[in-house]
Amino acid sequence: MKFTKMQGCGNDYVYVNGFEEKLPEEKKPEIVRRLSDRHFGVGGDGVIFINPSCEADFEMEMFNADGTRSEMCGNGIRCVAKYVYDKGLTDSEHISIVSAGSVKYLDLTVEGKTIVSRGTVTRVRVNMGSPALRPEQVPVVAQGERAVDEPILADGREYRMTCVSMGNPHAVVFAEDVEHLEIQQIGPLFENHERFPRRTNTEFVKVLDRQHVFMRVWERGTGETLACGTGCCATAVACVLNGLTDETVTVKVLGGEILVEWDRERNLVFMTGPAVTVFEGEVEIDV
């Protein structure tokens, strides 16, 4: 099976062209776990299949590294956009991609375009839609219409979280010392907490100023990653809800920077960041 390794701010996935590679659905979780393994497979935070779609220009079918499905991936969807343009599956610099029934609209930045060259995509701006804030939409067990600065107990310690869904669940926790946070111990406590019926991604955030924050993320089904696009969006929304930043904020992650804008008037979140092809290859799989 042919594949392409791509990354957005270090959030790396194995991408498979679903137009050409046909795999049995029941085999995909096992194949994903094997491909994602950084010692015995290709290595990545998961696997994304790029498929034809009747709802949008393309479909993104995303799996976490543990073989579970996920609804949305902000860094992943930018790389899908780069893939379909760079591979000639589309000539448009404005495309739509559906993931788990939700359609997103993307604007591609193409560099190196000439009369004889179509150029390549370097950055992508994504309309991520409206953040979902009601507890049942996230979902999270909480009282009231929004879980903002909500207390939560984990391993006997109280934290304060703000919960947002950007198509997938997020719990944003503000802290002063994010750099030295023992995320390998704390992350799983949030991911598998009884208050999150579908588990959760967790962002630990330090506010630097009104336009900049630093974030580390524990991703559901994967662990700590170098970046999380939907997590950056959820972080920006949480910052605004708590009065900590402006509506446009640069989120610094371990793998780079992602710009997020929450247009409050239209209630739309826009995410802009890089998309990079790392390498391509072919791997033997048993189907």
Specify whether 232 is catalytic.
no
Bridge partners (DSSP) listed for residue 52: none
Give just the sign of the alpha carbon dihedral 54, 111, 269, 239: positive
d(CA 112, CA 4): 21
For residue 126, give both structure tokens: 């994504």
Which helix H or strand E contains 81, and what residues bound it? helix 74-86
Task: Mark whether 79 is an active-site residue.
Answer: no
Which residues contact residue 125 at a Cβ distance below 8 angstroms, ignoring those fewer than 6 apart? 106, 107, 109, 270, 271, 272
Query: Which residue in 9, 73, 163, 233 is the catalytic one?
Result: 73
Helix, strand or coil for residue 270? Answer: strand
Please state the φ and ψ torsions of residue 235, each to the nearest 5 degrees: -60, -45
Give just the sign of the alpha carbon dihedral 10, 187, 160, 267: positive
Please answer whether residues 73 and 64 qualify as being in contact, where contact means their C-beta atoms are separated by less than 8 angstroms.
Answer: no
Identify the active-site residue in 79, 163, 228, 239. Answer: 228
Please give the positions annotated as active site: 73, 228
